[in-house]
């Protein structure tokens, strides 16, 4: 039993043949003689029963097949922090051949190394270690008091995920000795957290990143422990079945990134409880079942006071199916980046580029969508397409080119809160733009374009009619034949009378003129 007495094993975390469990019982289980441990497995499929044997309940499990009885000599109770560090990182001297050959002990396996003297020398000195990974090393606590601080006081980053830590107090005993600790990963440790009694504070004076994914922590416990994280900037709480039950008061005020992914009990009303964290810049809400959001303090076209610093929002893998969700995001005053993949809204019948364009048009300050930068020409094209696509609906709702008569009704403005501002930016759509397209008639898809050569003053200005579906590559091919210039030397851009003074580069040869929102009356600029 790894020198662990039977009297203090209840609640301890253990490992058996690679599987993790919690000890729920220690004692005799008649009629078989000898000591048994009753364990509840993290993976309930590993067990055989619910803690009962022949009608007697010895312990209780959350799952009917989550329990087993095991002999103590089959159980690994783990090792102390410093023992695990030495097992993974300490190096022993090898044959003394000018100091060139040494034996490195990595995961208890000796590896001969030649020519790495300087690296080995540094790693062999525990006091110089700053970043360590002890994932899945069966760490069960701090070990001898003060030993960590004496042996490796300069550690700044520790991965303690998937170990045998069973309580927050055991974590504190380790952290108390690592005063420079900045990053700590405790994921996949089934921890018990303090309740009621005051929590030790000042234990994490330098901690900036804390990962508590799959630890079983509750929101109340987060707030209770957070007083000990005075400079924390990133907090990861994925897969904990969290319910945000109260607003943080005087804690988490320095947090810039908060990950609440895969907590299916969180809804939009709970999110309002964290809406006033003053420095929150990144909020990750993937896979929480979110379908709607509404900021009641801001009307259509106005900014909310909630999430004042939020720049990056992640809502992948949710149940978002309505464009009203995207409309609401335009109310966030600082939002610059959005990830919203794998939602019904983005996985529907519309082409991916059409959906992307609509999102860009609806959120005016967005600079990155699904980790892809929004270039100025893409934004211009998306906004012009949006303005045209809903132009007839705008007119039917009371919209008009004359500003004095432009009064679209509230229902339209609620569905398209940015439409009026786009009309101010690009001008109201003209009747000619809003005529119903006849896609099978080529004449209705031809663009009349002027072609100029800014660097060739002797070349005459041409006028050509080109299909709007024509790719930039084919346009270059046409011009190359006309000008007798290699295609590879041609650079294309265009000007529009609607955007005086601006020149838009046509840099993607695979895209069409329509993609760049080139319209009749625009001017192609050709350089070589």
CB neighbourhood size of 271 (10 A): 18
**Choice among 11-15, 95-99, 371-375 with the minimum mean pLDDT:** 95-99
% of the chain beyond a pLDDT of 90: 67
Please give the pLDDT value at position 109.
Answer: 52
pLDDT tens figures, 96-134: 444 455 555 544 555 554 444 544 454 457 888 999 999
**Phi and psi dihedrals of 132, rounded to 5?**
-135, 150
Please give the pLDDT value at position 351.
Answer: 65
Please give the pLDDT value at position 439.
Answer: 44
Please give the pLDDT value at position 217.
Answer: 96
CA dihedral 145, 146, 147, 149 (to 10 degrees): 150
CA gap 498, 385 in Å, rounded: 14
In whole angstroms, how far apart are CA 458 and each of 66, 140, 315, 454, 526?
Answer: 85, 82, 55, 10, 13
**Choice among 57-71, 158-172, 197-211, 292-306 with the minimum mean pLDDT:** 197-211
CB neighbourhood size of 110 (10 A): 10
Can you tell me the mean pLDDT for 143-147?
93
Q: Which long-range contacts (CB under 8 A, 24 or more apart) does 169-173 make?
A: 169/194, 170/140, 170/141, 170/142, 172/200, 172/203, 172/228, 173/141, 173/142
64 is written with which tokens? 């009917």
Can you tell me the mean pLDDT for 423-452?
73
Peptide bond preceding 437 in cis form (omega within 30 of 0): no
**What is the distance in angstroms between the CA of the first residue and the CA of the last residue of the chain?**
79
Q: DSSP secondary-structure letter at 431? A: G
Please give the pLDDT value at position 122.
Answer: 40
Can you tell me the mean pLDDT for 403-409?
92
Q: What 3-state DSSP class applies to 329?
A: helix
Highest mean pLDDT among 30-34, 54-58, 212-216, 487-491: 212-216
> Residue 440: which pLDDT band, with cuts at 50, 70 and 90?
very low
308 is written with which tokens? 């004042």
Identify whether the C-beta of residue 274 lies closer than 8 Å to the C-beta of residue 248: yes
pTM of the shown model = 0.75
Place of tokens 């009297």: 7
Can you tell me the mean pLDDT for 323-352?
90
- Count how many Cα atoms sit within 13 Å of the Cα of residue 226 in the half-sphere of its side chain: 23
Ordered DSSP codes for 445-464: TEEEEEEE-TT-TTSPPEEE
């Amino acid at each position: 039993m790894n020198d662990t007495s039977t009297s203090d094993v209840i609640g301890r975390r253990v490992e058996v043949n690679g599987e993790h469990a919690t000890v729920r019982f220690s004692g005799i289980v008649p009629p078989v003689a000898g000591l048994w441990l009753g364990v509840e497995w993290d993976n309930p499929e590993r067990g055989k029963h619910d803690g009962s044997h022949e009608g007697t309940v010895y312990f209780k499990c959350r799952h009917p097949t989550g329990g087993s009885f095991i002999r103590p000599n089959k159980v690994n109770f783990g090792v102390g922090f410093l023992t695990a560090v030495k097992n993974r990182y300490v190096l022993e001297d090898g044959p003394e051949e000018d100091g060139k050959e040494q034996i490195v002990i990595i995961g208890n396996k000796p590896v001969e190394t030649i020519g790495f003297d300087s690296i080995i020398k540094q790693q062999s000195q525990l006091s110089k270690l700053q970043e360590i990974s002890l994932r899945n090393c069966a760490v069960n606590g701090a070990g001898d008091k003060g030993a960590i601080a004496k042996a490796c006081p300069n550690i700044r980053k520790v991965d303690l995920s998937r170990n045998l830590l069973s309580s927050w107090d055991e974590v504190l005993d380790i952290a108390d000795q690592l005063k420079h600790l900045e990053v700590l990963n405790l994921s996949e440790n089934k921890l018990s957290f303090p309740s009621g009694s005051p929590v030790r504070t000042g234990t994490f004076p330098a901690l900036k990143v804390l990962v508590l994914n799959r630890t079983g922590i509750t929101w109340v416990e987060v707030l209770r422990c957070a007083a000990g994280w005075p400079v924390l900037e990133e907090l990861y709480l994925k897969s904990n079945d969290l319910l945000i039950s109260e607003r943080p008061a005087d804690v988490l005020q320095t947090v810039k990134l908060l990950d609440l992914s895969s907590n299916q009990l969180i809804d939009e009303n709970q999110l309002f409880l964290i809406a006033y964290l003053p420095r929150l810049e990144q909020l990750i809400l993937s896979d929480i079942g979110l379908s709607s959001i509404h900021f009641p303090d801001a009307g259509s076209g106005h900014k909310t006071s909630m999430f004042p610093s939020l720049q990056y929002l992640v809502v992948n893998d949710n149940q978002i199916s309505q464009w009203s969700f995207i409309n609401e995001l335009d109310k966030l005053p600082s939002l610059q980046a959005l990830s919203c993949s794998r939602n019904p809204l983005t996985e529907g019948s519309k082409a991916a580029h059409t959906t992307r364009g609509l999102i860009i048009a609806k959120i005016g300050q967005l600079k990155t969508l699904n980790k892809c930068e929004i270039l100025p020409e893409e934004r211009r094209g998306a906004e012009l397409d949006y303005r045209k696509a809903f132009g007839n609906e705008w007119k039917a709702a009371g919209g008009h080119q004359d500003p004095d008569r432009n009064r679209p009704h509230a229902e339209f403005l609620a569905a398209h809160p940015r439409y009026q501002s786009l009309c101010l930016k690009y001008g109201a759509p003209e009747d000619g733009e809003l005529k119903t397209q006849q896609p099978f008639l080529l004449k209705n898809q031809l663009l009349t374009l002027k072609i100029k050569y800014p660097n060739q003053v002797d070349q005459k200005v041409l006028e050509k009619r080109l299909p709007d579906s024509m790719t930039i590559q084919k346009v270059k091919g046409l011009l190359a034949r006309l000008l007798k210039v290699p295609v590879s030397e041609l650079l294309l851009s265009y000007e529009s009378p609607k955007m005086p003074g601006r020149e838009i580069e046509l840099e993607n040869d695979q895209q069409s003129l329509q993609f760049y929102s080139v319209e009749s009356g625009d001017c192609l600029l050709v350089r070589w």
